[in-house]
Structure 1
Amino acid sequence: MSDAANPEDIVGLYQRHADAWDRDRRADPVIEQGWMDRFTALLQPGASVLDIGCGSGQPIAKYLIERGYDVVGVDSSPPLIKKCCARFPGNRWIIADMRALALHRTFDALIAWNSLFHLSHEHQRAMFPIFRCHASPGALLLFTTGSDHGVAIGWYQGEPLYHASLSSEEYRTLLDSHGFSVVAHSEDDPDCGGHAVWLARLKQ
């Protein structure tokens, strides 16, 4: 098996392995708990949240829905969105490529947990205007990245899985230039699977 991978492979991989991904993700310890608690502590009750790269809706969307937030989920994998629709029929679930997202509405909060880092460097940079277009004044933005500029190839179900990251300095610059201020940031968070985690707020 070649270890070559590129970001264009991601959509197909998550379609082919939707059942395995859903099973594995639901079985994971909820390592996001600390950051999700921090995120929701800053939200008003019933706030609208756009989950970009929502997968099968578990555990992130499930956590938010159970706490009364109005979640809209977006993912490029039809099989994963189908699972969301079955589990949470009262919410809106959309099949869409995040790189071309244009919902023509804004939200009180945005989350891109373990999704942004599957994009190329160029497409990650292009996501920040998309975040801005979907953010209401004062909206929160929570997302994960790597810690250093580069590309890393992982493996899932015997297939290479693309990841990329910009530098922390560039993420800070992109946030600032699109009107977001950093509320909290952790590099290689040991309590969160080694992720770099960013929590930002759109300036009012």
Structure 2
Amino acid sequence: MSRAKDGTGYDRLRLDRSGQAEAFDAIGDRYDEAFPHKEGQIAAGDWLVESLDPGSRVLDLGCGTGVPTARQLADAGFEVVGVDLSGRMVELAREYVPAATFHQLDLADLRPGGPRDLGRFDGVAAFFSLLMLPRAEIPLALRTIHHLLNPGGLLALSMVEAHVDDFEIPFLGHTIRVSGYLLDDLHRILDITGFEIVKETSYTYAPAVADVPPEEQVFLCCRRRD
């Protein structure tokens, strides 16, 4: 555990990532095998492709193996930067999407005044990455994304609709901790962190493995308010 010090709100949190990256290091390619149908994620990626100017700079936050999102965005001609806490996922992403640049980093590293500065972006994709954080950190993460975006920049965000906070679940033979909100609460948090929701869809998703329960996936296409 570590305490982030920067005066932006992170300094009040003790960040606990124990076991999270290690689980995804071990899972590797099996993540994509367990979640083979990603229509909602691809559709939200299509929204970024259709809405951003050619050559835009886009961040894939929690990029995993780089498939499908980093590849989708790179194939569209964007300058793609991917970030993931798992070193193994970053290795796979570099192999699968050589046209993009990937870093093993924590989202908290990118906070205003934080230890890493990757510059600013026209769009951010954050598919199922914020649900790996405790609820107390999610508004700070969204403010960090707001900081990373250029004025009027776009955010494609997905979460699982659930009223849980840092809740342990079995996941592909490992244990991870997840958080979620009911939809009205998620809308409120996006509003107070400076985002306008442009488009919203939801899917009931049944993973292809027995130890991961069905879930209600929510995809929110948002614009940064200045």
Identity of aligned residues (%): 22
Matched, 1:12 2:22: yes
Alignment map for 1:138-157 (pairs within 5 Å): 138-151=152-165, 153-157=168-172
CA contact (8 A) 1:154 1:161 kept: yes
Per-residue deviation, residues 24-56 of structure 1 (Å, max 9, x unmatched): 26x713322322222322111121110000011
CA contact (8 A) 1:103 1:134 kept: no
Aligned to 1:78: 87
CA contact (8 A) 2:204 2:216 kept: yes
Matched, 1:105 2:119: yes
- Counterpart CA distance in 2 for 1:7 and 1:149 is 21
- Counterpart CA distance in 1 for 2:55 and 2:49 is 10
Q: 1:8 to 1:123 in 2, by over 3 A?
A: farther
Gaps of 5+ in 2: 1-15, 111-115, 207-214
- Counterpart CA distance in 1 for 2:220 and 2:121 is 18
- Counterpart CA distance in 2 for 1:7 and 1:185 is 30
Aligned length: 196
Aligned to 2:10: none
C-alpha RMSD over aligned residues: 2.4
Deviation at 1:7, TM superposition (A): 5.7
Tell me the TM-score normalised to structure 2 length.
Answer: 0.77
Aligned to 1:3: none
Aligned to 1:181: 196
Tell me the TM-score normalised to structure 1 length.
Answer: 0.84
SS of 1:45's equivalent in the other structure is coil
**Aligned with 2:143 (options 122, 129, 141):** 129
In terms of mean alpha carbon deviation, does 117-126 or 35-44 score higher?
A: 35-44
Gaps of 5+ in 1: 1-5
